[in-house]
Structure 1
Amino acid sequence: MMHNVKVSLFYRKEAIVPSDQINIWSWLMLKDEYTSIVERLRKISDDEERKRLKKSLPAITVSGIFSRRKADHLVKPSNLICVDIDGKDNPSISNMEKLKERLGKLSYIMYCGLSASGKGVFCIIPYEDYRKHKLHFYALEQDFKDMGIVVDSSCSDICRLRFYSYDEHPYVNFDAEVYTHTLDKSSTMHLKSEIIAPNKSDDRQILNVTSKSLSLREVLLQPSNLDFASAVPLSKTEETERLLNLVIERRIDITSIYNDWIKIGLVIRNLFGDKGLDLFDKVSSFHPKYSQEEVEDKFFELDEEKYRASTQSLFEIAAKYGIYK
């Protein structure tokens, strides 16, 4: 993605005519005199004071340079769209840092950072055709809805303002994929009302919004430890089993490096005991020189005093092949 993208800058929310132009990366990444306002805003609880502070922040039009803040006054498009995820619209999401980390696994996310309040995140996404801004937004809205996430519908406005914010540890991908999907408005009615609300009788229901098989995107955003207030925390054994089942389902060989194979077997044996043999055999079976007899012999030979491996090492090995817990 290009590094020099100019957008319009507005010093006041009410302004119709922009005050200046600014490189969007300077806006997103650099600290300035407004950073201290954001830091104060995140610490106070008084709603009126929070509104006053937010109103004092400048804003940009992420989707381009405008002569006036109206859709038909677009001078130069940036081919970027901003998607807002507010905490109040997503009460099941309790950890925005974790959400930011997981959204970063989506190939089309160029930037993801905390909102000015710190109670939400916003994502900036490169998209194909600014003339189809709303149709691209509706497709994104549906994608996020499929992940159990409600996005702010006003992002469908190409000249929508994005208030200044600052994130010490944002997700950034200069090589993000260009988002090409579009969706007709008639297919997206009542998206917000269709999100499944948390069900006290079945906490694991969150994010299982359809009965179809999950895509990689949906798998990456399934609830995990502390991601969602009502999600059931997974044990180390459950996390490991889920990860290995993904490996088996996708038929990916993560054992090509001998030392990695040993670590995988040791983690499985430590967590599952002798019953883990079947799991180790299935994970090993995608190696081109797979031998069931060799797998069995190696599994029962493994000894923690001889080999050392933590559960985390298994997740690190899987991550090298694009598989995450």
Structure 2
Amino acid sequence: MNTMRMKELTDKLRSIGDERERKLFKASRLPFATFSGTFSRRCAEGLVSHSSLLCFDFDHLGDSHEVMRVKLMLVADPYFETRMAFTSPSGDGLKWITQVDLERGTHEQWYRAIRNYLQQQYGLSADPAPSSVVSACFLCFDANVMVGEDIAAF
């Protein structure tokens, strides 16, 4: 994610003023990951293997200082280990990936439970869309990406 090519794409995206044009650019130019699993095709029936990872998306947090504050707060959470955290393509949000034990609940149950916990504990409202196992997460440049020790570099 931290290549000059990703920096150029991210800078270009963030410079686009028109929201429709920005969404089209993001969908057509930025790579994405399906953090929750590998798929034969991107639909629930195409799930080959669940990764035990959940990706949470926090939109419109504010400036880079606020995004970093929230990132550090989540990294320090005593109950959920941060597998990865990075500024969203928009620049004012955060993507946070954590791991769960799927023997203790389904993807959807964990997503709802953690989303409720984050709301109650930190006042954070996670986007409900990534509650689906097939949800795509657009990647972008973040010089301050935080990656868990045993996660391979992108």
**TM-score normalized with structure 1 length:** 0.41
In 2, the alpha carbon distance for the partners of 1:67 and 1:148 equals: 37
Over the residues paired in the alignment, what is the CA RMSD in angstroms? 2.4
The equivalent of 1:186 in structure 2 is: none
The equivalent of 2:23 in structure 1 is: 51
The equivalent of 2:43 in structure 1 is: 70
Kindly provide the CA deviation profile for residues 177-197 of structure 1, in whole angstroms up to 9, marking residues without a partner as x. xxxxxxxxxxxxxxxxxxxxx
In 2, the alpha carbon distance for the partners of 1:114 and 1:36 equals: 15
In 2, the alpha carbon distance for the partners of 1:174 and 1:155 equals: 24
Q: Does 1:84 align with 2:60?
A: no
Structure 1 consecutive aligned stretches of length 4 or more whose deviation exceeds 4 Å: none
The within-5 A match list for 1:76-225 is: 76-87=49-60, 95-107=66-78, 108-129=81-102, 132-146=106-120, 147-174=122-149
In 2, the alpha carbon distance for the partners of 1:144 and 1:126 equals: 15
Q: Which has the larger radius of gyration?
A: 1
SS of 1:123 mapped into structure 2: strand
Kindly provide the CA deviation profile for residues 128-148 of structure 1, in whole angstroms up to 9, marking residues without a partner as x. 117610000011111111111
SS of 1:110 mapped into structure 2: strand
The answer on whether the counterparts of 2:32 and 2:138 sit within 8 Å (CA) in structure 1 is yes
**Post-superposition offset of 1:175:** 6.5
Unaligned runs of 5+ in 1: 1-28, 177-325
**TM-score normalized with structure 2 length:** 0.82
| Equivalent pairs, count | 145
**Post-superposition offset of 1:49:** 3.0
The answer on whether the counterparts of 1:37 and 1:53 sit within 8 Å (CA) in structure 2 is no
**Post-superposition offset of 1:32:** 5.9
* Closer, same or farther: CA 106–173 of 1 in aligned 2, 3 Å: farther
Give the letter for the 1:100 counterpart: K
**Matched residues, percent identical?**
30
Greater RCO (CA < 8 Å, at least 6 residues apart) = 2
Give the letter for the 2:111 counterpart: F
The answer on whether the counterparts of 2:2 and 2:142 sit within 8 Å (CA) in structure 1 is no
**Post-superposition offset of 1:94:** 7.4
**Post-superposition offset of 1:39:** 1.6
In 2, the alpha carbon distance for the partners of 1:69 and 1:144 equals: 28
The equivalent of 1:293 in structure 2 is: none
